[in-house]
Structure 1
Amino acid sequence: MKQFVSEDMVIQFLLKSFSKGKWLFNVPALYAHYADILSWNEQSSWSKPALFLRGTASPYIGKAEYMDAIACQFPLAEVKGIEGAGHWLHAEKTAEVLDQLQRYINN
């Protein structure tokens, strides 16, 4: 797998769905619907508070077009960054993620 994926965390994540020489998830369905999975479908806006946590080292959520989409669909959303975390912030910075979640829930 290292020939195709350079990040050890991604490999570890993928291997959780691999057993006895087979993938446990539906590879043909993922392949057929990959564009749908990656797309953003506009929905009616959520009029209640919402929290988005993002790793500051991740390219996700931080882009202007993503922030605009979040603001449009979640007008009361807060976006908080977890410093030094990438896409898997819950695994990389578990304590910080839990702290942010507890602060949000308790407010």
Structure 2
Amino acid sequence: MAPPTSTCTAALDVALLPLFRHDVDWAQLRAVGKGRRSPLAALVPEEGEHLMQLADIGRIAGVGRAAAAQWRRRLPGFPASSGGKGTNPYLRTADVIQWLLAHRKLTMPSAAC
């Protein structure tokens, strides 16, 4: 018999939702009272690869787009572009998050599921 499974959402996934789910009214979500069903329960996971730009990287790391551009030019191992133009590239979100965490540019709360 297989052990029971439970859904565990990583803090990072939740933190990045506003960047990728523009269909959610975030002001309404924040106003949901205790004991009320969250509108997040109705979200369906999106398929495909998530991409972000330098401005998105700066936003989640708490710096400006220029700082993210400097990291891209000067620091080793910055993720390669997956599209876009030279000054406005698209990068794979998973690669960017791994790089930010590895270079201590982003800290995530530790929580057990």
Provide the TM-score with structure 1 as the length reference.
0.29
Provide the TM-score with structure 2 as the length reference.
0.28
Higher strand share: 1
